[in-house]
Amino acid sequence: MKTTSTINNAQLFFIIFQTQVGVGVLSLPSSLYAEAGTDGWITLMITGGAIQLVVFILYFLSKRFPSLTLFEYAPKIVGKYVAFIISFLYVAFAIATAVIVLELFETTIKTWILFRTPMLVILLLLTVSGTYLAVGKIKVMGRFYQFVSVLIIPLVLMSAYTLKDADIRYILPLGQNGMGTIFKATQKGIVSMLGFEIVLFVYPYVQNKGKAALKSLTLANIAVTSLYTFLTFTTYVFFSPGQLEIIPEPLVYMLKGVSFIIVDRVDLLFLSIWIISVMTSYVSYLYIAGRGIQHLTKRKKTTGSILVAAILALIFSMFSHDRYTVEMLSSYHAKASYFFALGFPLVLLLVSLLFKKKEESQ
Amino acid sequence: MRRGKRKSVRNEPYQIPTATESCEAFFSLEQNKEYIISKFHHTEDIKFRRMTIQNIACILAYLDPLVDEDKLQKTIMKPLMEKNKLDIEDTVTSKEYRRSKNLQEAVSGLTKGFVVLFIEGYQHFYLLEAFSANSRAVSEPINEQVVRGSHEGFVENIMQNLQMLRRRIENPNLVIRFFQVGKTTDTKLAIIYLQHLVNPDLIQEVEKRITSIQTDSIQTPGYVEEFIEDSPFSPFPQMLSTERPDRLTAHVIEGRIGLLMEGSPSTLVMPVTFFAFYQSPEDYNSRWYIGSILRLIRVASFIFALGLPSLYIATVSFHSEVLPAELILNIKSSLENVPFPPLLEALIMQIILELLREAAIRLPGPIAQTIGIVGGLVIGTAIVEANLVSNMMIIVVALTAISSFAVPSYEMSMSIRLLGFPLMLLSASFGFIGLVFGLSIILIHLCGLETFGTPYFSPLAPFRFNELKDSIIRLPRWLLGNRPTDVHAQYRKQEWRSRGWKKNEND
């Protein structure tokens, strides 16, 4: 029986949202603190504004080719050979992101929950379930992302509960490190909010394109920015500046101290929910990589390509594994991500505007 | 090939069969009789009744078990004898009759309960309906009992079942299509739907799938289900099986298709969503908030039945620090003397439980109770005293079993308990992490599952807020203005302004 493979605007919202919210959320407060001190949460709001500009660029680019993904319209803009290189780089970037998600996931799980479980087993858990979701195509991903987004509510509630022990004086005075530092720290923020570039690959599947899609994108950006700002803010008013300097994952530490009536260790529940967010980010990048491989090898089905992408990511993530290597890799990856989230789309948009390249409407 | 030509037949019930191979009838009575006897391989339940009408010898042939004694006497033999005329058409008062000279038709007619009248010297013979419609009395299905509501249940006779449905939906748009399936058994299947409501693509798809069944026999609706369902390897049932006419009617009115089978009181509904398995017709018979609470309890029962043992295993074997000190002391003290890991405990108890359930089904009522007492009380107490299984585990497994039986559908409750086992394994190996991944995989499967183009986990995935009011809970009927979208019915409105009147005319 024929069924549609489109996603509605709510699903687009949740795909963007869940792709953005991911592995970075745990370490974000401390990495921002390192740059901007207790004004880190202001930085995040500015970052949200900056990302909105990028979202506009991505949207205008996608709108010029409403029924094609980036892999499909790149050749029309810059020609076959350059497009091949760009597509290849995007696949490499997506796999690299998946690898980093896997590695951060593995180190976090190892630090907090399963101390002695072999690395490969933990990686396999995420790989197997993630691959199963990714091969289900964008429609299933949309439904799943939307469903699991309900879990964000307990996440927020748990953090909000800690506000009873908050001390607002920790973050006062506002802007104590100067606007320059706050702006400079935005680059740290952008890295953890990456994920909106998936719109380049899912836009053709959206039912209502145009303004409605832009609305979903904007709302997703607002939602992610507010969530991150809120979570960062709660940790900044919970821990004193001195504590923040030495705590690598303040959110989890914060919740470790909280206990409800029958739950003594809230951090374990928090991490269990966090796993789902990690999985969704991982799946999104797996999907991008799979679609790219499918396009480059001119296959008809996506399943095989996604499997290849998953296996590649698994193999790469099995190499170096101490915290420092992961951090080094992440910083390289962060620099590269500017090109993929902003650079390439901007160039493609400018070239297509300059040469009036556009998808012919039937 | 054989079935291809039968398509033209299937629209009318009890239509006299047309055979594909033909064999000219003989003029002589004896030759015809010989042919019939040889075709039936000298079976002993075939009866021949000789009679003379206007001094011409005739033979009535019929298969004794299939023919209604009363009908045979009243509508065929009595008129023939009394009027003594060879003008069969005006003499016999049988409901249906037909003239033919193809002996092959006589043979297939006999297998369907027709009486064949041969007349000496004529090549034509007559097929006269005298089908015995005996079936057991209508009773309440024991596996789908309700407190308030209809106590009618389907029986094994398809015509009687269709009659119950026709009585419930008195509408010319109610269409029934017949299919003959099974090379040997030639079983009669019927699909029933509302023509003006149901999605035409859906009808076409169901018909296509049923007509493509190539099998020797269809013995239960389960066969049909396995032949036509979308994902045969999914653990979830994708068609709702029910023995209640009110349940089937409710689904037909929502724009779904019902499938009935001769010889089986279970009927199938397609396409259904996951939540159809958690609804019971009696929800609409009680106050709406009671109905809503009942539905919420059933949804909670799904979560308990699926995850409770695994959650317990994960907690006691990995994350006992999650629980506050007082609680963990209780649990750990009950675990102290048990030599097995929690997973093994859970498996032992689950297997004992499944054994008890299976044994109790097969036994007659009074003995089944004994089994319940021996199994539940004696084994339960003894196994704790023998320190094989902890108290806590007994509580957890009992809760799981009770939750799974709260599901109004038997297949679904089995599927859920079965899914509990891999989850237990995962949580015994990885704790909460394993449980989360296991549940995610089940959720991904539910999100991706589609039956006849309908998303299975609707209205949760894809999320449709407006439809939660008749799936997770049940709002008053007059607030349910639209049908669920998942079936893509031709029109969605199902309730207009029923409460358009003023409560107090004086205001």
User: Is B433 close to A125, i.e. CB distance below 8 A?
Assistant: yes
Question: Which residues lie closer than 8 Å to B206 by C-beta, 6 or more apart?
Answer: B191, B228, B257, B259, B270, B452
DSSP characters over B357-411: HHHHHHS-HHHHHHHHIIIIIIIHHHHHHTTSS-HHHHHHHHHHHHHHHTSS-HH
**Contact indicator for B178, B188 with CB cutoff of 8 Å:** yes
A166 inside 8 A of chain B by CB: no
- Could you report the per-residue pLDDT of B157-167, keeping only the tens digit for each? 898 899 999 99
**What is the per-residue pLDDT across A13-72, written as a single tens digit (0 to 9) for each?**
999 999 998 888 888 888 888 888 888 888 888 889 989 999 999 999 998 888 888 898
Residue ranges of domains in chain B: 2-129, 158-272, 283-448
pLDDT surpasses 70 at B17: no
Mean pLDDT of chain B: 87
DSSP state of A325: H
Q: Is a pLDDT exceeding 60 seen at residue B9?
A: no
Give A 102-131 residues with CB within 8 A of chain B: 109, 113-114, 117, 121-122, 125-126, 129
| Least confidently predicted of A141-150, A240-249, B218-227 | A240-249
Residue carrying structure tokens 């599927």: B415
User: Chain A: residue nearest B443 by CA?
Assistant: A144
pLDDT digits 0-9 by tens, B436-487 = 999 999 999 999 999 998 899 988 888 888 888 888 888 888 888 888 888 8
| pLDDT higher than threshold 90 for residue B414 | no
At B3 the pLDDT is 43
What pLDDT sits at residue B93?
Answer: 85
Nearest to A136 among B318, B448, B463 (CB): B448
Interior/surface letters B321-344, b for 16+ CB within 10 angstroms, e for the rest: ebbeeeebeebeebbeebebebbb
Residue B248 pLDDT greater than 50, yes or no? yes
Does residue B12 surpass a pLDDT of 50?
A: no
Residue A107 confidence (pLDDT) above 90: no
Under 8 Å between Cβ of B226 and B269: no
Whole-number Cα distances in Å, B214 to B3, B40, B189, B209 = 9, 25, 14, 10
ipTM value, please give it. Answer: 0.93
Q: Smallest Cα–Cα separation from A132: which of A337, A250, A283? A: A283
Contact A261 B324 (CB under 8 A): yes
Distance CA B94, CA A129 (A): 65
Is pLDDT at B207 greater than 90 in this prediction? Answer: yes
Most A CBs within 10 A among B303, B451, B463, hence the mutation to make, goes to B463
Q: How far apart are CA A124 and CA A135, in angstroms?
A: 16
Residue A267 has pLDDT above 90, yes or no: no
Say what percent of chain B tops pLDDT 90: 34
Q: Does B201 touch chain A (CB under 8 A)?
A: yes
Give yes or no for B233 touching A (CB within 8 A).
no
- Give contacts of A129 with chain B, Cβ < 8 Å: 437, 440-441, 444
Going by DSSP bridges, is the β-strand pair B97-100/B114-119 parallel, antiparallel, or unpaired? unpaired
How far apart are alpha carbons B417 and B403 in whole angstroms? 10
Look up the CATH superfamily of A9-354.
Amino acid/polyamine transporter I (1.20.1740.10)
Contact B462 A132 (CB under 8 A): no
Q: Is A136 on the interface with B (CB under 8 A)?
A: yes
Distance CA A91, CA A308 (A): 11
First CA to last CA distance, chain A = 27
Please indicate whether residue B208 or residue B113 has the higher confidence score (pLDDT): B208
Distance CA B75, CA B97 (A): 11
Please list every residue in chain B whose beta carbon sits closer than 8 Å to the beta carbon of residue A112.
none
| Cβ B61 vs Cβ B110: under 8 Å | yes
Q: Where are the beta strands (DSSP E) in chain A?
A: none
End-to-end Cα spacing for chain B: 72
Q: Are strands B454-455 and B174-181 parallel, antiparallel or unpaired?
A: unpaired
Under 8 Å between Cβ of B390 and B384: yes
β strands within B210-355, DSSP E? 240-242, 257-261, 264-270
- A179 contacts A22 by C-beta, under 8 angstroms: no
pLDDT (0 to 100) of residue A153: 93
The pLDDT, as a whole number, for residue B143 is 82
pLDDT, average across residues B179-206: 90
DSSP-assigned states of every residue in A341-360 = IIIHHHHHHHHHHHTT--PP
> B436 vs A265: CB contact, 8 Å cut-off?
no
Among A10, A259, A272, select the one facing B432 at the smallest CB separation. Answer: A272
Q: DSSP readout, A171-224?
A: GPSTTTTHHHHHHHTHHHHHHHTTTGGGHHHHGGGBSS-THHHHHHHHHHHHHH
Residues 6+ apart with CB under 8 A from B360: B368, B371, B372, B375
Does A113 sit within 8 Å of B433, measured CB to CB? yes
Contact call for residues B503 and B209 (beta carbons, < 8 A): no
Nearest to A264 among B230, B321, B443 (CB): B321
Contacts of B327 in chain A (CB under 8 A): 262
For B461, which of A117, A126, A144 is closest by C-beta distance?
Answer: A144
Of B322, B433, B453, the CB nearest to A109: B433
B13/A contact by beta carbon, under 8 A: no
- Identify the band that residue B433 occupies on the pLDDT scale cut at 50, 70 and 90: very high
Task: Name the percent of chain A lying above pLDDT 90.
Answer: 37
The span from the CA of B447 to the CA of B267, in Å, is: 26
| CB of B386 closer than 8 Å to CB of B348 | no
Cβ–Cβ below 8 Å for A262 and B323:
yes
The mean-pLDDT minimum among A155-164, A259-268, A321-330 falls in A321-330
Judging contacts by C-beta atoms under 8 Å, the chain A residues touching residue B201 are: 1-2
Interface of B with A in 420-479 (CB under 8 A): 430-437, 440-441, 443-445, 447-448, 450, 452-453, 455, 457, 460-463
* Encoded tokens for A62: 């996608």
